[in-house]
Amino acid sequence: MRRRAHLRLVTSFEGEDTTLTAVLSAEDLAEELGLDPHARVTCGLHRCWLHQCVASPDHVIPVTGHRWCRPCRSPLEVFVDETSASLVCPVCGTGTPDTAANRQVVRACRTSIAASHAQ
Ligand SMILES: [Zn+2]
Ligand SMILES: [Zn+2]
């Protein structure tokens, strides 16, 4: 793999950024070719791992239901730990309202957390 060879050349403190940059550009391209933007593990808007910016208001998308509680018409709060993420509605207290969109947010965050640890 060309990318792996390249990774060995960088110093350790730059390693994570290099991984991020590689995945970011790969996903930018994949998105142009039809990858669902919500399936990304990096953020095309904030240019970081998804779990690092998913708490931003930019990631609340009422139209699609991502990070959104439909019954309450309210954005979900995000809690990220070492291995996973969870979504909680501050209005009704529901943990990760069981919709395809919210499950997708959690799944993408899990993958993003794992990818950011994989060096
Ligand atoms: Zn973002
Ligand atoms: Zn709610």
Q: Which ligand is closest to the CA of 88, given by its number?
A: 2
| CA 71 to ligand 1 centroid distance, Å | 25
Q: What is the pLDDT of residue 6?
A: 46
Q: Which residues of 43-52 are buried (b: 16+ CB within 10 A; e: fewer)?
A: beeeebbbbb
Q: What is the residue-level pLDDT of the chain in tens, covering all 119 positions?
A: 445 444 444 444 555 578 999 999 999 999 999 999 999 999 999 999 999 999 999 999 999 999 999 999 999 999 999 999 999 999 999 999 999 999 999 999 999 999 999 86
Annotated domain spans of the chain: 2-117
* Cβ neighbour number for residue 69 with a 10 Å cutoff: 22
Q: How far is the CA of 10 from the centre of ligand 1 (A)?
A: 26
Distance 21 CA to ligand 1 centre (A): 14
Of the bound ligands, which one is closest to the alpha carbon of residue 67? 2
* Cα 77 to ligand 2 centroid, rounded to whole Å: 10
Residues 76, 47: contact at Cβ < 8 Å? no
Do 38 and 27 form a contact (C-beta atoms < 8 A)?
Answer: no
Closest CA to 20 of 51, 54, 65, 61: 51
How remote is the CA of residue 19 from the centroid of ligand 1, in Å? Answer: 17
CA of 42 to the centre of ligand 1 (A): 8
Backbone angles phi, psi at 118, to 5 degrees: -75, 110
Q: What is the pLDDT of residue 52?
A: 97
- Whether the Cβ atoms of residue 109 and residue 80 lie closer than 8 Å to each other: yes
Classify 106 as helix, strand or coil.
Answer: helix
